[in-house]
Chains A and B, each alone.
Chain A
Amino acid sequence: MTKTITDVICPFCGTLCDDIEVVVSDDGKKIVEVMNACAIGYEKFHHSQATDRATRPRMQQADGSYKEVSYDEAVEYTAQMFAKSKKTLMYGWSSTNCEAQSVGHEIAEICGSVVDNTATVCHGTTLIAVQDVGIPSCTLGEIKNRADRILFWGCNPAHAHPRHMSRYSIFPRGFFTGKGQHSRKVVVVDPRPTDTSKMADYYFQVEQGRDYELLQAFRAALKHEWLPDVVAGIPKERIYEGADMLKAGRFGIIFFGMGVTQTLSKNHNIDAAIMLTKDLNEYTKFNIMPMRGHYNVTGSGEVLGWQFGFPYAVDISRGFARYNPGDTTSNDLLMRGDVDSVFVIASDPGAHFPWTSVKKISELPSVAVDPHFTPTTEICKLHVPVAFVGIEVGGNAYRMDNVPIDTRKVVDPPEGMLTDEQFLEKVLHRVKELKGVH
């Protein structure tokens, strides 16, 4: 007799869907079926069951091969690495729960490390912009219930956040939006037509790298200021028309993604988009929201925020927190040779950093804590496999709109496996011994 667990939270993307249903075997050990999830979420729940996954730590040998070691040996190696280092880069944190993050932060404070999360290569530049000009935003339900203007700028939810459009943005019928998609005008700005732009009423094919110019042009157009005939490949008539269409809405939202955060101008693109949103509030109601990637990258920023005052790239090397992207961010630290060991958890820089940074990681004492085999685990000196958060252990996570949702455990991890939090607790305990603090 199988049993069905409802209201399960999907630990993949920042959409943090919480309506997943998981059918588990009667012994509660195996996932039999996963319902309501997107293709990626479905894959994540099922692959967590893979028989070929690592269940014990693995230490890199001289010849580059890996040899299984005990969790105790893994804790000792990790703690010694922290204790001996002058500055450890502690990177990742976005695919684990807030409780594990908290334990990691105390290790960082004791050892004088740098804590950075995946925002550093995702929405870090968004956070810089927010610090410069703020951010008028809202929860996703406000959009579902009120929004009649939906603008996707440099993001492609059809691929990156598959259920976003049906749960929150384009299609849902809400309190003041009973007609669903018919109550809304959808706008997409992207250098290539995408599966998202197929659903748009208005599509602007911006010249790649010219988002900043186009955003400022839209702002000028709101005030009917002069514009050159063509901006970023868009004729000015279409810009004035677009500006009026946005003004004419009752409640609008701009969603944006890595199309602008990773493109030339970076934080300035977001800055201009936020100011466009602010300007639109002179005429109607408008908000803006980053399409956060990992399911708990937002949570990492929140916990760092209340414990240290900064959302990522937190340098605690001198015992107090400092922050300055460009200096205290992972890729700058690695490329400038300003760290002497690397601790990676719940993310995969090996796959997602430029190769010059990845090479630096492989040359340093390094630990990767991850349930999967990844390019990172296969270049670090030590791989510590752990239970899947949101599947084999619960814990708090923050959705892309900062809404906290407590993830659920649906099955037990393989016999004897530790969770991120348990492993970090052991390392913290050992680090305190080595550093003589209580």
Chain B
Amino acid sequence: MSEYLIKNGFVFDPTQKINGDVKDVAIQDGKIVDKVAKPKVIDAKGMTVMAGALDIHAHVAGPKVNIGRIFRPEDKLFNETPRKGMMRSEGGFSIPTTYRTGYAYARMGYTTVMEAAMPPLFARHVHEEIRDTPIIDEGAYPVFGNNWFVLEYLKNREIENTAAYIAWLLRVTRGFAVKLVNPGGTEAWGWGLNCLQVTDPVPYFDITPEEIIKGLIEANEYLGLPHSIHLHGNNLGNPGNYTTTLDTLKLAEGYKAKNNFGRDVVMHHTHIQFHSYGGTKWADFESKAKEVADYVNRQKNISIDVGFVTLDETTTMTADGPFEHHLTELNHLKWANADVELETAAGVVPYIYSPDIFVSGVQWAVGLEIALFSKDMMRCHLTTDHPNAGPFTRYPRVLKWLMSQKARDEQIKAFKASDKVVSQSQIAEIDRELTLFEVAQMTRAGPAKVLGLSHMYGGLKPGLDADVAVYDFNPEKEHKPDEIEKAFSHVKFLWKTGTPIITDGEIISHGNKRTLWVNPKVNENPQVMRDIHDKFLKFYTVTEKNYEVTGKHFIPNPFVIEVDATR
């Protein structure tokens, strides 16, 4: 029996409305429990105790992430750590190696991460990288928004067939949720085109982004999956795109979540910072964070993650193929593109968010404004769309900006075009400082609920997995901004499902890492099985039998979430 008692910490757990009370947390055999008999006692006096954090959207494993690693040797230059004891060597800043990815998340108190875009044909690759990422539990979202099956079924409004296909694909790819990236636009990119508005027709397929999004919401709720659809909308990154974003969010109106996982939202719109821009060109570029945040505040059945800009040199990567081409035309840096037959595409381009460039400054402001204008932090989650707006290793710096107006003011002063950043945004007028309770909502309870995993993660209720982080941070003391960043950069203690991972700041174990996937059961659907058989015969370049991910060498420690969607 492995038992631990974390004594006298300041505990923050929104799932139990615990807001900094001094309490003990007990762990027994991987779970949080009420009490323990003969525990190993850890004194957390004067420290902050929270559940392990969840990242609802990060690009950490798979083909495009590895393109980033492989085509950016300069990202590793003078940034490597040698093998030490049981720890493997680490390398890379914006696209770290799988080992550094696992270690770096653990050091920040993160215990669960979702890979945000898995091309189904490359599912094996995604799972191999997940396997080699130590400590953290991971799941991956297969992309559906440009998938030929989906486009053809939804053109005819065949929701049940769409659902049956989703069920099949989640199973054969060992996927976790339904991801959409630039719906329709990425298929258009197959011809070098794009869909910028939700009403733009998709070439040949005679369907619009709007129809794809609504259809997939309906199919997702038909199945009752743990997570809602996870949407990267059209027209990302362009001045004036906030109207497209509002058009997109409105598509969720009238839908109600149907599932047994305690999820209330039907649409999660990701990295909404990139979708909240005003202006007509870069010269009059401005923040429309308020307009977008206000809508999200009103509309209770949608959630968002932010995609904070961290002002670093980073590597952008997305299944939004046309956007990356657009970006390389802007910054003239190296461009990788990877179109995937029948399914999706991807692009990768290095990018420098420079404090000397006015647009970068406004993007930084937009991200923070979205969060600071949000009223329900359970529906507004902390991400950097790693590595697109910045590396996930900057989360502690983002927390510093969110928790300290002083920190924000210092950064605003540091901008070269400080005045213009201020005039094109509202960041300078905001005095809100997030509390640790709100931080716990943004990074723990909120994402766990939206992912449909609140029965496992996101809190310290007895019965939940014992993922516990202890930070050397005393909420009753005054803190300089940089002390906030320092404290959340490096947990003092971390448990993953009850296993001590970090003790006194040192990583001591690779833990018992799991791969999460969702296995929906649906009625027999001969037509969909026929369509699958037919497409593999005619259009895929691998056979149907060589498509499914099977075997321990891909997923040594699976955790399957069963969903019964039979009627």
Contact = CB atoms under 8 A, between A and B. Distances in A.
Nearest to A19: B543
Contacts of A250: 191
Interface in B64-113: 65-66, 69-73, 75-76, 80-83, 85-86, 88-92, 95, 97-99
Interface stretch (A87-95, A189-197, A344-352, A396-404): A396-404
Given A307-B99, A402-B122, A406-B551, A321 B89 contact: yes
B295 interface: no
Given A9-B546, A134-B335, A141 B80 contact: no
B192 interface: yes
A144 interface: yes
B349 interface: yes
Interface of B: 61, 63, 65-66, 69-73, 75-76, 80-83, 85-86, 88-92, 95, 97-99, 121-122, 124-125, 128-129, 132, 148, 189-192, 204, 325, 328, 333-342, 345, 348-349, 538-543, 545-546, 550-551, 553-554
Label chain A's interface by main secondary structure: mixed
22 contacts: A99-B553, A130-B70, A130-B71, A131-B71, A132-B334, A139-B338, A139-B541, A142-B339, A144-B341, A144-B541, A145-B341, A174-B538, A302-B70, A307-B99, A309-B76, A309-B92, A310-B73, A311-B70, A320-B90, A395-B553, A402-B338, A404-B124
Closest 3 CB pairs of A and B: A141-B341, A319-B82, A134-B334
Contact of A306 (B124, B129, B325): B129
A327 interface: no
Interface string A392-418: 000110100011111000000000000
Given A142-B190, A251-B191, A310 B128 contact: no
B132 A137 contact: no
Contacts of A98: 128
A351 B384 CA distance: 49
Nearest to A98: B128
A250 B193 CA distance: 11
Contact of B73 (A7, A19, A131): A131
A329 interface: no
Contacts of A301: 70
B84 to A, nearest CB: 8
B336 A404 contact: no
A320 B89 contact: yes
A309 B73 contact: yes
Interface string A270-290: 000000001001001101000
Interface in A343-375: none
B509 to A, nearest CB: 12
Given A109-B89, A131-B72, A301-B70, A137 B541 contact: no
A175 B204 CA distance: 11
A196 B340 CA distance: 26
Given A130-B70, A403-B122, A141 B89 contact: no
B71 A102 contact: no
Instruction: For chain A, give the interface size range.
Output: 35 or more
A40 interface: no
B73 A323 contact: yes
A146 interface: yes
Contacts of A145: 341-342, 539
Contacts of B66: 302, 305-306
A251 B546 contact: no
Contacts of A142: 190, 339-341
A141 B541 contact: yes
A309 B75 contact: yes
Nearest to A277: B337
A42 to B, nearest CB: 19
Interface string A48-72: 0000000000000000000000000
Nearest to B81: A320
Given A134-B349, A406-B124, A305 B69 contact: yes
Contacts of B333: 134
A224 B83 CA distance: 54
Given A110-B83, A138-B340, A406-B124, 10 more contacts: A131-B334, A139-B338, A139-B341, A142-B190, A145-B539, A174-B538, A175-B539, A302-B70, A321-B80, A437-B85
Contact of B334 (A133, A140, A284, A406): A133
Contact of A404 (B65, B122, B345): B122
A209 interface: no
Nearest to B133: A306
Contact of A141 (B61, B539, B543): B539
B554 A396 contact: yes
A138 B347 CA distance: 10
A135 interface: yes
Contact of B76 (A6, A133, A321, A398): A321
A289 B467 CA distance: 44
Interface in A61-116: 98-99, 102, 106, 109-110
Nearest to A6: B545
